[in-house]
Amino acid sequence: MSPSPTTRIGAKNKGGGEQPQLRAPAATSSNDSYKEYVYSPVATSPLSSSVYLPTTLPIDEDKPPVSVVPRRTYFNFVAMEESGSKLPQYVAATAANLCIFAGGAMMGWTSPVLANMGKNDTKSMDDNPLGVVVTDDEGSWVGSLMTLGAVTGSLFSGYIGERFGRKKALLATSIPFLLGWALIATAKSLEQLYVARFIFGIAIAISFTVVPMYCGEIAETSIRGVLGSFLQLFVTFGLLYAYAIGPFVSYLIFWIVCAAVPIVFFACFMFMPESPYWLLTKGMKAEAEDALCKLRGKTSSGVQKELGDMQVAVDQAFSSEVKMTDLFTVKANFKALLLTCAGVSFQQLTGINVVLFYAQKIFASTGSAIDPAVCTIIVGVVQVCASGVTPIVVDRLGRRILLIASGVGTAVATGVLGVYYYIMDVEKSDVSSLGWLPIASLVLFMCLYCVGWGPLPWAIMGEMFSAEVKAKASGITVCICWALAFVITKFFSNIAAEFGNHTAFWFFTICCIVSVLFTVFLLPETKGKTLRQIQDELNGVKSLDYDNDERGQVSGK
């Protein structure tokens, strides 16, 4: 009988057990009537991630010696990730944007109030706390001083948000809002109204600067665009709120319902968490972790990876100091600054603030048979609906095509409105049969404005600048925006009085046409491009990222 086969044992398998090394048996006689078998042992380590299936290997004496590796089946144990919830982020963003709602109501307040204060009838005077008729020039100061206050506020609103935190900065806006409404409530002179509107502008500047920062920092990547679009939507909600209530209540009730909004905002937002990003910049990691847990609806272990990513982003952002001169000496920064400043300028040159501040007076001046208050409400509803559509289409169609469509549409609307005023004021023709025309024109204006020149200049501003210069560049851009808004709002009534309403609206028509040419020939498309691609394009060089994208598309990857 032949000797039994020999098996050398000693090599360790991956799981810590022994892996056999097999040798062929020694020579046996030809009349052996059996085959010898060796058995591979099962891995004994309890921590092994792979399980060896036992195999029975017959030994063929006619073949040369071989080493046999047992078959293995792998079982991968993957840690379960917490799903969490996006609802807390929507709630926090909604609470923050109640501040914007308060600003929209304040901006819309002028439309019904100035229309009433400009009348000399008994009913209007009884509800006029000033006791005197407000002239067009005086009304223009009431409307425009808010924008002048916003210019002033934009100079330090960014600092307040960085120094005291996003949450405290937004909560603090309740102070100027309520102070302004207190002045409105007790006003016995135009000068007091002027001061109130200027203070409102400071609150608006802080709100419009800090709310986008807060929403961008609390949101997951997948819903950051949606939460960012809340600002435009809540502005229109606030305007509609004022348009729908103001014409049908007294001066006293109107300021009370408007002043209630910042109180509701404060009561809701005080329970919301601070931006975890800002907390990390101040070295408060434990507080940042707690805030992130609340915003994601997860436990501490479920947010560790995202918290670590935020910490890396914070460390990178503060690794170098950026000077203000870099905005003008670096080609990409300077070109981006020119493009974004031109963008917000065209936004104002569409005439949007004239429409918002003087909507009811515009309708009243047309002599339309339709109640001007009802016309204003219709425009407000259209604005809300159009603002709700924007987040859906902007990433599908791109920025340029929407801006071109917006420029063409607003040019047609203001041009037609100018023609209407020309026929009525210069030709002295009967326009009673055309009472629907100003309503249709302003509805068209609002629809096209809200999908293009309304929200997109702010979106492009966020895409054009690199992270390290964005704060400084945004301050300059916002300041220019509100400064131009002040000039247009203040002097619209002067131009209309001197040269006619038709001339004022045709001026906006020309600006809208120029905005189309600007978009076609100068403004680059930013849809679907990385920050590096945009920066390379602004620098006038071909992006390596773009080459890689092209090769990937050609190869079908």
Query: pLDDT tens digits, residue range 323-364?
Result: 777 778 777 788 888 898 998 899 989 888 777 766 666 666
Catalogue the long-range contacts made by 246-253 (C-beta closer than 8 Å, 24 or more residues apart). Answer: 246/108, 246/109, 246/111, 246/112, 246/113, 246/373, 247/112, 247/115, 247/360, 247/373, 247/376, 248/373, 250/127, 251/113, 251/116, 251/127, 251/128, 251/129, 252/185
- Enter the pTM of the model: 0.71
pLDDT at 365: 63
pLDDT-based confidence at 261, cuts 50/70/90? very high
What confidence category does residue 47 fall into, taking pLDDT thresholds of 50, 70 and 90? very low
- Residues 82, 258: contact at Cβ < 8 Å? no
pLDDT band at 542; cut points 50, 70, 90:
low
Task: For residue range 53-72, list pLDDT tens digits in order.
Answer: 444 444 455 555 544 444 44
443: pLDDT confidence band, cut at 50, 70 and 90? confident
Which of 18-32, 265-279, 365-379 has the least mean pLDDT?
A: 18-32
Residue 167, amino acid: K
User: For residue 48, is pLDDT > 50?
Assistant: no
pLDDT at 241: 94
Residue 8: its pLDDT value, please? 43
Q: What is the domain class of 86-272 according to CATH?
A: mainly alpha
Render pLDDT for 132-159 as a digit per residue (tens, 0 to 9). Answer: 888 877 887 887 889 889 989 988 887 8
Q: Please, which pLDDT band fits residue 201 given cuts at 50, 70 and 90?
A: very high
pLDDT at residue number 355: 75
**Residue range(s) in the chain whose domain bears CATH number 1.20.1250.20:** 86-272, 328-556
Residue 161: pLDDT band with limits 50, 70, 90:
confident
Average pLDDT score over the chain: 77
Q: Examine the pLDDT at 15 and tell me if it is beyond 50.
A: no
β-partners of residue 39 are 56
* Record: fold of 328-556: Growth Hormone; Chain: A; (1.20.1250)
Return d(Cα 484, Cα 160) in angstroms, integer. Answer: 24
pLDDT band at 80 (very low <50, low <70, confident <90, very high): low
276 has pLDDT over 60: yes
